[in-house]
Structure 1
Amino acid sequence: MPIHDVARHLPEIAVLREHCRSLAVLEAVLSPGRGSRRHSFDEHWSGTASLASMRNGAGDEYSIVFSAAGAYVRGFDHESPMSPYAEDGPWPGVLDEVPEVFRPYAEEPAFSDEDGMPLVTACTWREAADDHWKAGMIDFPDAATGDPDGAGYLFQLLVDRSSEAFQRWAEDYYEVPVDLAGVRHVFSSQPLTEEVVRALNSEVALADLLKDIAEIGYPTS
């Protein structure tokens, strides 16, 4: 599923933002130690923007910048044939049409390697006044698979935003049972309670998560 297909499945900006925030909260509960978490959310990433991110620890990652201008999404699959290292720069079309308002994020050092190479194989964006997500015109590699830019893999939990999809992923990743009712509670953006936290992870209390919750900007009871 290349980025154009992913873009068609993404919800409006506000819904995506809340979903990303919920992913970060759920992982904070399941993994109080930050080292093994994949999803995070920083409500105050900059003075004007929030940041949702995913890193799998093996070189694959994505970042979503939410600002008054809209939302900018970039993903990097290190094994993709569209890796910037294959072309000595981003694959043609991936960043070429990014609107000027999002250009600082396309060139953001935090989304680049130590030499300033943008780490991107997939990119989509949506300005605040847009009615759909957009991506550049891309000539994908001829011999590529159905997921040439890694977008289907990277954004799987943003395309399938069901509680069941997260439960399956979390149970496989953390190798523990994950309470579906607790996941549904968080995905509905209801305030986090002691009961929900304990249902998701009996070894964690709500008080243990206050710093994470403040960073994420998620409501508590």
Structure 2
Amino acid sequence: MISTQDYRVLPDAAALKTISKALAVLDAINSPDLEYRYYTYNAVWGESEEVLEMSDGEGDQMLILFRPEGCVINGYLDGYEQPDKAQVTRGLPASFDDFIFGEPVSSIETTFCLWYTPAHGWQTGIIEIEDDGSEELLFILDGNPDTYAEWANEYYGEDTDRSPMDVAAVAKIYQGETLTRAIVLGIVDEMENWLQLEEDVQAIGYPYDFSSL
């Protein structure tokens, strides 16, 4: 299981960006209502900056910033003991300072932090509290389509009669394939608002072609 104690299977920044966009696209398909999505992606967060946001609506949040220098993950889990932020971010490259020490991260707070640069790979600061809940948020980033399908079938399919999603369709999105109507209908039984999905996918910066089945 991925955590701040063992993050060897975390992909590099480029692969993680692909996974992050896939998560946001999949959630946009599964939940036309933004309020109920876990994962959203902003491809124009700032100049040369893109961000994945995870929010469970109950206080837990994760933000991943992508910059030319690499990426950084800020996680916050409600109810967990808060570490000294100066320690968990010790050694953080200066290019990530404005994000980690500015808003909205400062208001969200920080339970754990990891960052990636091409020169040094994944790193963390000083971990004083091993039980930081990072497993609960980082598990989805393993790059395995089955991981998302299992989670989403439970989260979006609970107490409904919707069909389990086609893992092969999930895998196509994980691989960055152009999103088509056929792929979408492998995720959900029907899509009522294709225009809304088109707008969401554009905001994510993901390729699509809804011209035909």
Structure 1 moving runs of 4+ over 3 Å: 205-208
Q: 1:133 pairs with 122, 146, 165, which one? A: 122
What SS class does the counterpart of residue 134 from structure 1 fall into?
strand
Contact 2:89–2:126 at 8 Å: present in 1 too? no
- Write the letter of the residue equivalent to 1:120: T
Q: TM-score, length-normalised on structure 1?
A: 0.85
Q: Report how many aligned residue pairs link the two structures.
A: 202
Contact 2:149–2:167 at 8 Å: present in 1 too? yes
Report matched runs for 1:1-221 at 5 Å: 2-6=3-7, 8-81=8-81, 83=82, 90-91=84-85, 93-113=87-107, 119-127=109-117, 129-140=118-129, 148-158=131-141, 160-175=142-157, 176=162, 177-204=164-191, 206-221=194-209
The separation in 1 between residues aligned to 2:173 and 2:20, in whole angstroms, is 11
Q: Which has the higher strand share?
A: 2
What SS class does the counterpart of residue 184 from structure 1 fall into?
helix
The separation in 1 between residues aligned to 2:123 and 2:90, in whole angstroms, is 12
Contact 1:4–1:135 at 8 Å: present in 2 too? no
Contact 1:60–1:78 at 8 Å: present in 2 too? yes
Relative to structure 1, the CA distance from residue 80 to residue 164 in structure 2 (aligned partners, 3 Å threshold; closer, same or farther) is same
- Write the letter of the residue equivalent to 2:133: G
- Write the letter of the residue equivalent to 1:123: C
Q: Which runs of 5+ in 1 are unaligned?
A: 85-89, 141-146
The separation in 1 between residues aligned to 2:128 and 2:186, in whole angstroms, is 47
CA shift, 1:208, in A, is 3.4
Q: TM-score, length-normalised on structure 2?
A: 0.88
Pairwise CA RMSD: 1.7
What SS class does the counterpart of residue 104 from structure 2 fall into?
helix
String of CA shifts for 1:144-165, please: whole Å, max 9, x gaps. Answer: xxx611111111101x321111
Q: Which runs of 5+ in 2 are unaligned?
A: none
How many percent of aligned residue pairs carry the same amino acid?
28
